[in-house]
Amino acid sequence: MFPVLSISLRLDRLHAAFTALFGNKLSFAPLDDSPPTSILEIGSGSGAWFVRTEMNAARRFPAARVVAVDINPLPPRALPRNVEFHQVDISQGFPFESSSFDVVHARLVMMHVPQPEQILERAIDLVKPGGWLIVEDPDDEQMLDGGGPLGPGMDALLQGWFRIFRSRELEPCIGRRLEEILERSDAFAEIRVKKVTIPISEKSEDDNLNKFGKAWRANMICTGHDMPRRFAHQGITEDVARAYLEELEDPARCLTTDMYFVWAKKK
């Protein structure tokens, strides 16, 4: 059994798993080849990617101005001089000029915002020519058990979750559409995509991937515990969450989901 962690702690742990997957870097994009001087972190959460953890953008690129936005406040902490945070609802637009940043990064954010395609278009506009847009999101519709359908407990909760999110114009499966949206913008000289199948039940032969799967599962467990508080009135009751959690923690299962890492260089 995993403990139920605070959102900040769980995002920090997930960040550590992401950076390990990148080979102790902040993304698959070759940012070190030409270190950025301006960076925007969209939907910064705990601040893990840009300031809070061992491996963060402000520390990795100390000469860069690092700006972060989130609809929620940043957990209190002193910020280094090269860092600023703005509380912004990105569905209402960004308070920045076109072509303001060498790097724009959004991880696990597009799946949480209404009409993500429109928001991505605005994010693309913020990247300078020659700069990088980095977007990373899963496709939880591709969550499988042993390559086949999920058990009834996980399926019931996920279908309920997809229904609720779609009723709010969110796309929980945006990961698989990222490449197509970026292609359509015609704004990029190069678009790179890496699809990683996450071994949620830690049954990969690759230890690094299993570590990522463990962190992902821990996050899913916390989310499962939290869902009835937020969504019981929309059908995700304690019973639904319990059945989901039992299957999620069942060692006989072989759960996987797909995560899309996209990094694209602006023309």
Ligand X SMILES: C[S@@+](CC[C@H](N)C(=O)[O-])C[C@H]1O[C@@H](n2cnc3c(N)ncnc32)[C@H](O)[C@@H]1O
Nearer Cβ to ligand X (121/250): 121
Q: Quick count: other Cβ atoms within 10 Å of Cβ 53? A: 17
Q: Give yes or no for residue 15 binding ligand X (CB under 6 A).
A: yes
Q: Give yes or no for residue 72 binding ligand X (CB under 6 A).
A: yes
Taking CB under 6 A as the binding criterion, the range among 87-95, 165-173, 220-228, 256-264 that sits at the site for ligand X is: 87-95
Taking CB under 6 A as the binding criterion, the range among 32-40, 59-67, 108-116, 225-233 that sits at the site for ligand X is: 108-116
Nearer Cβ to ligand X (48/243): 48
Nearer Cβ to ligand X (49/188): 49
Pick from 32, 54, 84, 89 the residue near ligand X by CB under 6 A.
89
**Closest CB to ligand X belongs to which residue?**
45
Q: Give yes or no for residue 133 binding ligand X (CB under 6 A).
A: no
Q: Give yes or no for residue 164 binding ligand X (CB under 6 A).
A: no
Taking CB under 6 A as the binding criterion, the range among 88-96, 185-193, 202-210, 249-257 that sits at the site for ligand X is: 88-96
Q: Give yes or no for residue 109 binding ligand X (CB under 6 A).
A: yes
Quick one: three-class SS letters along the chain? Answer: CCCCCCHHHHHHHHHHHHHHHCCCCCCCCCHHHCCCCEEEEECCCCCHHHHHCCCCHHHHCCCCEEEEEECCCCCCCCCCCCEEEEECCHHHCCCCCCCCEEEEEEECCHHHCCCHHHHHHHHHHHEEEEEEEEEEEEEEEEEEECCECCCHHHHHHHHHHHHHHHHCCCCCCHHHHHHHHHHHHCCEEEEEEEEEEEECCCCCCCHHHHHHHHHHHHHHHHHHHHHHHHHHHHCCCHHHHHHHHHHHCCCCCCEEEEEEEEEEEEC
CB of 257 to ligand X, least distance (A): 14
Nearer Cβ to ligand X (85/244): 85
Binding residues for ligand X, per CB under 6 A? 11, 15, 43-45, 48-49, 70-72, 88-91, 107-109, 112-113
